Structure 1
Amino acid sequence: MKRPSFRALLKKPGPLICPVAHDALSARMIERAGFEATGVAGSAMLAAQHALPDVGLAGMAEMLEGARNMLRGTNLPWGADADDGFGDVRNVVHTVRCFEAAGAGQLVLEDQNRTTKRPGDGGSQTLVTPTEMVAKLRAALESRDDAEYLMIVARTDAALVEGVDGALKRAEHYLAAGADAIFIAGLETPEQLRRVGEALRGAHQIAVVGERRFRHWPAPDELYAMGFGMINYPGLLINRVHAAVADGLDALTRIAAGTTRPFDIPDHIDALEAMAQTLDLSGWEAMNRRFEGA
């Protein structure tokens, strides 16, 4: 199925808000909540599906499998974290072909050195050279079949290694090489965001709202005014899922000890009914009745 394109969504006025899913259920819930796009980030997917941190432990096949699992829950366009392309330029070409065949609308390539990879906005330690990154971007751009649909996003982690000046120089190199969009990771203040947004205004810029280094993020409309057309939220859902599961296990511990009963847990029935609605249980039951009676 051909999903809507990110390019079309980015032409609409206002910021494109993109919550990151970690499984099919979260992807379904993102769509039901009214969002127009979703993403597959290594940090959320690896935590949910493999109980691993995003430090370069997963390969392309695992990331692609995780993405395919999520797609069962949604018809939204989706972008994917492709790390450094999982190797040299040959691996980049293979990665692009595989993710494009799966229906990806965006693919993010980063300039972190894979041997010292850090999760999310944790702060990279070393980077590949701009020349190496440009070679990978060119390989990615030339190997896709549908340049209008699949956007290649260049991510640079240079802000915490080479400073904002270094990050901007890399961003300009990557955009000049043909990258469809740019994401500068590791920005830590509204002033840095404004500076980057203005310096690269006119390019498709992505802001990724992390919660580790920078907690007082501007509102989406403010980021849009700065120059960021797309705003991703990679950890907001998975971190709260982790907290909710921990809370549920605490309740189960009390149930196992005999100090409480399941139906004494606040919102237990509401949660049960909400899950049934998300899974369209009534729709499946209606289909069964329809064909059984045929």
Structure 2
Amino acid sequence: MGDLLGGVRAPRARLRELLAAPAPLLAPGAYDALSARLVEQAGFGAVYMTGFGTTASLIGRPDVGLLTGAEMVDNARRIAAAVDVPVIADADTGYGNALNVVRTVQLYEQAGVAGIQLEDQVMPKRCGHMSGKALIEAGEMAAKVRAAVAARRDPDLVVIARTDAVAVSGVDDALERARAYADAGADLLFVEAPTTEADVEKVAAALDGVAPLVFNWAEGGRTPPLSLQRMAELGFALVIYPIGTLLAATAGIRALLAALHRDGVPPLDGLPSFGEFTDLVGLPEVQELQQRFGG
């Protein structure tokens, strides 16, 4: 876990090691520091900071480009500080042109993330599984990818290039764009929201050997929910599960509040005890540091 006095960590080098492994790296979504700690505690090797969940948790609104880059970076900083495993963060469109991307990458890097994801939508963007998306020109996005690669101060920072072309201009254009982004230096390619298993297979086959691939197991989204075995067979290097933690938290809070409203007493069955929760958020470490340093 992300201790207050943790040792020197190398999350970016670790992320590259995990992505190079034969099996896909699984990265559940986290929308805040607490959910990130829960992902780490469950034994996963990486955390994915979801833009959808960040928007929902910070302002209670949909993922339609309402958050600023500064708000996203602040959330990434808190999440990265809370865990020891690598954090891959959604950086939306980079919040402007290629010059803006330079600063975006450097701010995310300073925040401590191990990887960032950039997409080729027009600002303001939309969640990749919503309708009404629009794309920038492929050449403009390739320039953003080149800027991102040039801007990183740590060469181990992983740059993920996402294309949303499947829903706008079709699978073939998405593949052409993905190749251009790989040529521009992207470390991983992310073809968002194919709607059939045949399209997923086409993407995997067409981009085999071009760059490692990301599969978005978007809970309830447009992409069919493939098994882990099938995703491994297709050669995906990274599988993200962006909003399951957010949906689970929403369901749990809704059920607790409904019972409280109905009965006047919150149901405690199945909830962690007070002591279990304070252990989770690091109270024993705080107590040890108080004894060590006083105060």
Q: Aligned-pair distance for 1:67?
A: 1.0
Q: Which residue of 2 aligns with 1:129?
A: 137
Distance 1:216 1:172, change over 3 A: closer
Q: Which residue of 1 aligns with 2:269?
A: 266
- Give the Cα–Cα distance (whole angstroms) in 2 for the partners of residues 103 and 89 of structure 1: 21
Q: Which residue of 2 aligns with 1:118?
A: 126
Q: Does 1:107 align with 2:116?
A: yes
Q: Which residue of 2 aligns with 1:49?
A: 58
Q: Does 1:244 align with 2:258?
A: no
Aligned length in residues: 285
Q: Does 1:67 align with 2:71?
A: no
What SS does the corresponding residue of 2:256 show, helix, strand or coil? helix
- Structure 2 letter corresponding to 1:224: A
Contact 1:123–1:157 (Cα < 8 Å) also in 2: no
Where do 1:22-37 residues align within 5 Å? 22-37=31-46
Q: Which residue of 2 aligns with 1:277?
A: 279
Contact 2:19–2:237 (Cα < 8 Å) also in 1: yes
Q: Aligned-pair distance for 1:173?
A: 0.9
Q: Aligned-pair distance for 1:188?
A: 1.1
Q: Which residue of 1 aligns with 2:4?
A: none
Q: Aligned-pair distance for 1:85?
A: 0.8
Contact 1:123–1:186 (Cα < 8 Å) also in 2: no
- Give the Cα–Cα distance (whole angstroms) in 2 for the partners of residues 265 and 285 of structure 1: 27
What SS does the corresponding residue of 1:114 show, helix, strand or coil? coil
Q: Does 1:217 align with 2:229?
A: no
- Structure 2 letter corresponding to 1:172: R
Q: Aligned-pair distance for 1:40?
A: 1.2
Match of 2:206 among 199, 207, 210: 199
Q: Aligned-pair distance for 1:290?
A: 6.4
Contact 1:15–1:228 (Cα < 8 Å) also in 2: yes
Contact 2:218–2:242 (Cα < 8 Å) also in 1: yes
Distance 1:76 1:255, change over 3 A: same
- Give the Cα–Cα distance (whole angstroms) in 2 for the partners of residues 85 and 71 of structure 1: 19
What SS does the corresponding residue of 1:241 show, helix, strand or coil? helix
Q: Aligned-pair distance for 1:71?
A: 2.4
Distance 1:212 1:124, change over 3 A: farther
Q: Does 1:164 align with 2:171?
A: yes
Q: Aligned-pair distance for 1:245?
A: 0.9
What SS does the corresponding residue of 2:64 show, helix, strand or coil? coil
What SS does the corresponding residue of 2:154 show, helix, strand or coil? coil
Q: Aligned-pair distance for 1:285?
A: 3.9
Q: Aligned-pair distance for 1:105?
A: 1.3
- Give the Cα–Cα distance (whole angstroms) in 1 for the partners of residues 185 and 293 of structure 2: 53
Q: Which residue of 2 aligns with 1:4?
A: 11
* Cα displacement string for residues 98-124 of structure 1 (whole angstroms, at most 9, x for unaligned residues): 111122211111111114x22232245
**Structure label with greater radius of gyration:** 1
- Structure 1 letter corresponding to 2:109: E
TM-score by length of 1: 0.90
Task: Give the alignment's Cα RMSD to 1 decimal.
Answer: 2.0
Distance 1:177 1:240, change over 3 A: same
Q: Aligned-pair distance for 1:9?
A: 1.0
Q: Aligned-pair distance for 1:280?
A: 3.5
Match of 1:235 among 243, 246, 253: 243
* Cα displacement string for residues 36-82 of structure 1 (whole angstroms, at most 9, x for unaligned residues): 11111211111112212211111110101111122232111111111
TM-score by length of 2: 0.89
- Give the Cα–Cα distance (whole angstroms) in 1 for the partners of residues 159 and 132 of structure 2: 21
What SS does the corresponding residue of 2:193 show, helix, strand or coil? coil
* Cα displacement string for residues 229-261 of structure 1 (whole angstroms, at most 9, x for unaligned residues): 1000101111111111111111221343xxxx4
Unaligned runs of 5+ in 2: 1-7
Contact 2:69–2:104 (Cα < 8 Å) also in 1: yes
* Cα displacement string for residues 211-243 of structure 1 (whole angstroms, at most 9, x for unaligned residues): 343364111221121021100010111111111
- Give the Cα–Cα distance (whole angstroms) in 1 for the partners of residues 224 and 183 of structure 2: 32
Contact 1:107–1:151 (Cα < 8 Å) also in 2: yes
Contact 1:109–1:155 (Cα < 8 Å) also in 2: yes
Q: Which residue of 1 aligns with 2:88?
A: 79
- Structure 2 letter corresponding to 1:17: L
User: Greater shift after overlay, 165-174 or 63-72?
Assistant: 63-72
- Structure 2 letter corresponding to 1:179: A
Unaligned runs of 5+ in 1: none
- Give the Cα–Cα distance (whole angstroms) in 1 for the partners of residues 22 and 290 of structure 2: 43
